[in-house]
């Protein structure tokens, strides 16, 4: 399947590159047929699109959009070392949500990324997942995610 065509049909343009790391790590590593991304924040055009606690500072819908933005950054990191069209299977998505006390809908936030993976990759986008509430995230981002994919 040509996933880049799906991106175009959805009106999605991947960022030219993943955002620069904010620490001492690399954004993506390939080990045989698996590609692992580092944690990706919801940067768009160099700025975080959602900052603070979900849902007190960041409404659920914006947190879901931020999850999608972080996902596109992860795909940009992957695309830098292997073409998106070479992805055989999305294996794992780990979502971290900067959660206000008592917030328990981390899975709904993660759906912002999971549903986008399904739209882009179809059956190959079905993945395992963790959705975890965090007390704080880097730069006070509302969400952070990492992704594991299998490539040809």
Q: What is the pLDDT of residue 42?
A: 98
pLDDT one-digit tens code per residue, 15-74: 998 888 888 999 999 999 999 999 999 999 999 999 999 999 999 999 999 999 999 999
Q: How many angstroms from the chain centroid is the CA of residue 122?
A: 16
Indicate the CATH number of 3-9+31-151 among 2.40.50.250, 3.30.2130.30, 2.60.40.1760, 3.30.1330.40: 3.30.1330.40
Listed residue (120, 24, 137) closest to 76, CA to CA: 120
Say yes or no to pLDDT of 99 above 90. yes
Calculate what percentage of the chain has a pLDDT beyond 90.
93
For the chain, the DSSP string reads --HHHHHHHTT----SSPPPPSSSS-SEEEETTEEEEPPB--EETTEES-BS-BTTTS-HHHHHHHHHHHHHHHHHHHHTTS-GGGEEEEEEEEEEEEBPTT---HHHHHHHHHHHHHHHHGGGG--EEEEEEES--GGGBSEEEEEEEEE-
Per-residue model confidence (pLDDT) at position 22: 84
Question: What does the chain come to in residues?
Answer: 152
- 129-133: average pLDDT: 98
- Of residues 152 and 48, which shows the higher confidence score? 48
pLDDT at 75 over 70: yes
Does this model's pTM top 0.95? My answer is yes
Q: What is the mean pLDDT of the chain?
A: 96
User: Is the per-residue pLDDT at 3 higher than 70?
Assistant: yes
Crossing angle (nearest 10°) for helices 60-79 and 106-121: 40
Rounded mean pLDDT, 72-96: 97
Between 131 and 23, the more confident residue is 131
Q: Is the pLDDT of residue 91 over 90?
A: yes
Q: What is the pLDDT of residue 1?
A: 62
- 4-15 tens-digit pLDDT: 999 999 999 999
What are the structural domain ranges in the chain?
Answer: 3-9+31-151
Per-residue buried b or exposed e for 42-66, using 16+ beta carbons within 10 Å of the residue's own CB: bbbeeebbbbbbbbeebeeebbbbb
């Amino acid at each position: 399947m040509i996933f880049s065509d799906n991106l175009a049909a959805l009106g999605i343009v991947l960022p030219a590159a993943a955002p620069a790391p904010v620490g001492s790590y690399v954004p993506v590593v390939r080990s045989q047929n698996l590609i692992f991304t580092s944690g990706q924040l919801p940067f768009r055009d160099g700025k975080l699109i959602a900052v603070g606690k979900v849902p007190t500072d960041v409404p659920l819908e914006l947190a879901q959009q931020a999850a999608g933005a972080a996902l596109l950054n992860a795909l940009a990191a992957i695309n830098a070392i292997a073409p998106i069209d070479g992805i055989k299977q999305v294996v794992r998505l780990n979502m971290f949500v900067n959660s206000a006390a008592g917030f328990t809908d981390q899975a709904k936030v993660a759906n912002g990324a999971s549903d986008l993976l399904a739209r882009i990759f179809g059956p190959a986008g079905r993945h395992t997942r963790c959705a975890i509430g965090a007390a704080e995230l880097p730069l006070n981002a509302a969400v952070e995610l990492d992704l594991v994919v299998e490539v040809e």
